[in-house]
Structure 1
Amino acid sequence: MAYLKRKAKAFYHMSKKVAIYIRVSSLDQAREGYSLAAQERTLRNYCSDKGYSVYELYADEGISGKDMVHRPAIQSLMQDAEEKKFDIILFWALSRFTRSVSDLYQTVYKLNQLNIDLVSYTEVFDTSTPFGRAIVGILGVFAQLERELTSERVSFALDEKFKQSKYAPAFLQGYTSKNDELKIVKREADCVKLCFESYLETHNLSETARTLNAAGYIGKRGKHFSANSVKVILRNKTYAGYIKFNEKEKFGSHECIISADVFKKVQKILIQKHNSRKKF
């Protein structure tokens, strides 16, 4: 009888398919035990010990857990959940899965409807029970609290850098950030100059975008220019020597790419074009 019970238990576990989800943000990558490889290794061993079969590994690297919308892997995971391709979603800790209380509650509700359980390796709860769902909610509150406190600390640190004129925005066409200072990237800076020159000549965002693309330039993230991305560049006062943080603005210590006079002329045209469209 004991043998049959063990066989039945083993069969029950083997019938369970597990989706493993792992995530690290840029900050987490420097922390011991949070790397994607460490999470994957631990969670696969957990499945092996439990006799679960791993359906798929879903990994988001270098992405914050503040919401689920901007994470490709978790979006793919939820699509597969809708098709009931697995029975359990396993992750290292709730903070790896989400730090948003609203995302958490909506996801738990949806997965409960699909009879899919959420399991955390480091936090003991079972979302198939009312008590387990309550525990998840409590953990979610603390996960969001941690995110908000971290956000406050980061904001404070950036504000201090801004006061010292060291604040350097990331992914800015024309510059690279080194030791909190903006350094010019020549080819990108030439692209920015052409952007302003072309717009002063044409007064047309789409035409300026075509000029940049025809010249072989690409955006900071490897994409071709559009009217919208051209407008973003034209409105950025950093190119004229200023830095901005939380609506505060001051003259920075970095090298300008275009003059303040050119910047003002472009802003005047943009405002005129905007006002003329509003009349119609």
Structure 2
Amino acid sequence: MKKITRIDKSSEGTALKEKLRVAAYCRVSTDSEEQLVSLETQKLHYEAYIKANPNWEFAGLYYDEGISGTKKEKRSELLRLISDCEHKKIDFIVTKSISRFARNTTDCLELVRKLVDLGVYIYFEKENLNTKSMESELMLSILSGLAESESVSIAENNKWSVQRRFQNGTYKISYPPYGYDYVDGEMVVNKEQAEVVKLIFSEVLSGKGTQKIAEELIQRGSPTKRGGKWTSTTIRGILSNEKYVGDVILQKTYTDSHFNRHTNRGEKDQYYIKNHHEAIISREDFDAVELLINQRGKEKGIEKGSDKYQNRYPFSGKIICSECGSTFKRRVHSCGNNKYIAWCCSKHLSQPAECTMLFTREKDVEFAFVTMMNKLIFGRKFILKPLLDGLRGMSKSDSLLRIKELEKLIEKNAEQKEMLVKLMAKGYLEPALFNKENNELQMEADNYRQQQETLTHAINGELSKVQEVSRLLKFTNKAEMLNAFDGELFSEYVEKIVVFSRTEIGFQLKCGITLRERM
């Protein structure tokens, strides 16, 4: 007769088993004192909670302060958590609830699927939901959908509350501007900062530009509101802020239904409160500065509210440094009694040690463009015609055929999912097996759609290039040799200029080719 003896599992082997690396994620949606206390409580709780489990190893605490949960892109710590999961530093995540993790259903499901693919699972404490053992994504989808609805409801209630406070004049400015502090719920003048504000207005009235003022404030060591760096944009913001005369305009911005913030250009009501707080600047000086800025704008062809710094000159925003990737800024240089326009790398201007690219004269760039266009006009048959024939000759039939195949595969995938649901409903499938098969089919469908989208974009991109080359060829067929720079012609055909050195630049045309010219 056979004798069977059980050999107990080795306690030594169990001891050698690796601990699960567990991290926690916390978030509060505002930076108020009460909310930050809540965040501190969450941090202490989860650190103790993880360390109390002998099978767990504390892998870190990730937390976002004062950030809304409606969009994952705005939460740096959440993104860092995902990155660490991708680098195999974390095995398991603990968080308070689905609403703390994400209030957007799409983001929640996308993040959970991504982590599951990485072999990392999440435990939602409030819902008692573990993504490793849950029967289906359906429950997570429902709960995260409720969290998103809750977020929308809270947002709408907050908007109504804010509107009421706008109307009755009890709204509290969320962040007082430079020159003011909050004391007992009231905006009061910060005397040290107020002196800087007065200096800025005085310097502008004496004729100085905003960039020059910013540079002088940096040299003086005057601190900004948040410890950053003075810029011409910061100065312009101060000069146009009505709060410095003691008034307030409420609802300068608004949030749409997708939680995107916009400048209010008349889409929503605004509320003007006069003599809301103590003024730093007199109304006469404020109005004088506004008139002066508007006059300078007219002289330089700037329209208020337009994309002035991108469309002001033909080269604005289009000259790129090949060394650091920064855009070039327009400057007026002096050589003795002569003045000339130059374009300078913005990084070289602010941090010359980090970029050595020197300035380029505007006249040289214009001359290089004229030379390049004349070469195209003269050699169109040898440059543009073969390019156009090559683009037209590229067969798109393979791509179109693959797109049709993917459409059939997507249809077949949908049929399989439908059959899976029917089998589950009739009790022929275990929930765990249904969940596994359904997830695989979903991943397969997502892959097919991604391939389809990539192929479609590729085809559209090729068609766009064909149209641009054809348009340029038609122009060169009829055009005569250029004698001078034409800004409209430049904007019509050039995407950007890449500066390689003081003597060489490249014109990247909208048709996709880059032509180098020496200067």
TM-score, normalised to structure 1's length?
0.82
Q: CA deviation at 1:56?
A: 1.5
Q: What 5-or-longer segments of structure 1 have no aligned partner?
A: none
Verify the 8 A CA contact 1:18 1:88 in the aligned structure 2: yes
Q: CA deviation at 1:213?
A: 2.4
**1:29–1:220 CA distance, 2 compared to 1 (3 A):** closer
| 1:36 maps to amino acid | E
**Which moved further from structure 2: 109-118 or 227-236?**
109-118
Q: CA deviation at 1:46?
A: 5.1
Spell out, residue by residue over 1:168-199, the C-alpha distance to the aligned partner (whole angstroms, 9 max, x if none).
42141111223443111111111111122222
Give SS of 2:93's match.
strand
* Structure 1 position 212 matched with structure 2 position 217: yes
Q: CA deviation at 1:203?
A: 4.7
**1:3–1:221 CA distance, 2 compared to 1 (3 A):** farther
Match of 1:173 in 2: 178
Structure 2 counterpart of 1:249, from 271, 275, 282: 271
Match of 1:196 in 2: 201
Give SS of 1:211's match.
helix
Structure 2 counterpart of 1:270, from 288, 293, 296: 293
Give SS of 1:69's match.
helix
Q: Give the superposed CA RMSD.
A: 3.3
**1:271–1:136 CA distance, 2 compared to 1 (3 A):** farther
**Which moved further from structure 2: 119-128 or 129-138?**
129-138
Verify the 8 A CA contact 1:177 1:183 in the aligned structure 2: yes
**1:152–1:186 CA distance, 2 compared to 1 (3 A):** farther
**1:5–1:242 CA distance, 2 compared to 1 (3 A):** farther
Verify the 8 A CA contact 1:28 1:35 in the aligned structure 2: no
Alignment of 1:56-67 (within 5 A): 56-67=60-71
Verify the 8 A CA contact 1:126 1:132 in the aligned structure 2: no
**1:31–1:228 CA distance, 2 compared to 1 (3 A):** closer
Structure 2 counterpart of 1:72, from 65, 73, 76: 76
Structure 2 counterpart of 1:139, from 138, 143, 146: 143
Aligned residues: 279
Spell out, residue by residue over 1:7-52, the C-alpha distance to the aligned partner (whole angstroms, 9 max, x if none).
988877x542112112234478637994423453246425634722
Match of 1:117 in 2: 121
* Structure 1 position 156 matched with structure 2 position 125: no
**Which moved further from structure 2: 69-78 or 88-97?**
69-78
| 2:89 maps to amino acid | K
Verify the 8 A CA contact 1:20 1:90 in the aligned structure 2: yes
Q: CA deviation at 1:158?
A: 3.1
Alignment of 1:79-94 (within 5 A): 79-94=83-98
| 1:18 maps to amino acid | V
Match of 2:282 in 1: 259
**1:33–1:17 CA distance, 2 compared to 1 (3 A):** same
Which entry has the higher C-alpha Rg, 1 or 2? Answer: 2
Spell out, residue by residue over 1:104-141, the C-alpha distance to the aligned partner (whole angstroms, 9 max, x if none).
23322322332221221222223346844333332222
**1:71–1:253 CA distance, 2 compared to 1 (3 A):** same
**1:19–1:107 CA distance, 2 compared to 1 (3 A):** same
**Which moved further from structure 2: 47-56 or 257-266?**
47-56
Verify the 8 A CA contact 2:211 2:232 in the aligned structure 1: yes
**1:178–1:28 CA distance, 2 compared to 1 (3 A):** closer
Give SS of 1:146's match.
helix
Give SS of 1:152's match.
helix
Give SS of 1:85's match.
coil
Give SS of 2:59's match.
strand
* Structure 1 position 36 matched with structure 2 position 58: no
| 2:294 maps to amino acid | I
Query: How far apart in 2 are the matches of 1:152 and 1:132?
Result: 31
Give SS of 1:64's match.
coil
Query: How far apart in 2 are the matches of 1:242 and 1:195?
Result: 19
> Structure with the greater relative contact order (CA < 8 A, sep ≥ 6): 1 or 2?
1
| 2:97 maps to amino acid | A
Give SS of 2:73's match.
coil
Query: How far apart in 2 are the matches of 1:264 and 1:28?
Result: 36
Query: How far apart in 2 are the matches of 1:207 and 1:147?
Result: 45
Give SS of 1:258's match.
coil
Query: How far apart in 2 are the matches of 1:199 and 1:102?
Result: 49
Verify the 8 A CA contact 1:195 1:212 in the aligned structure 2: no
Spell out, residue by residue over 1:76-114, the C-alpha distance to the aligned partner (whole angstroms, 9 max, x if none).
212212212111121112222222334323322322332
| 2:280 maps to amino acid | I
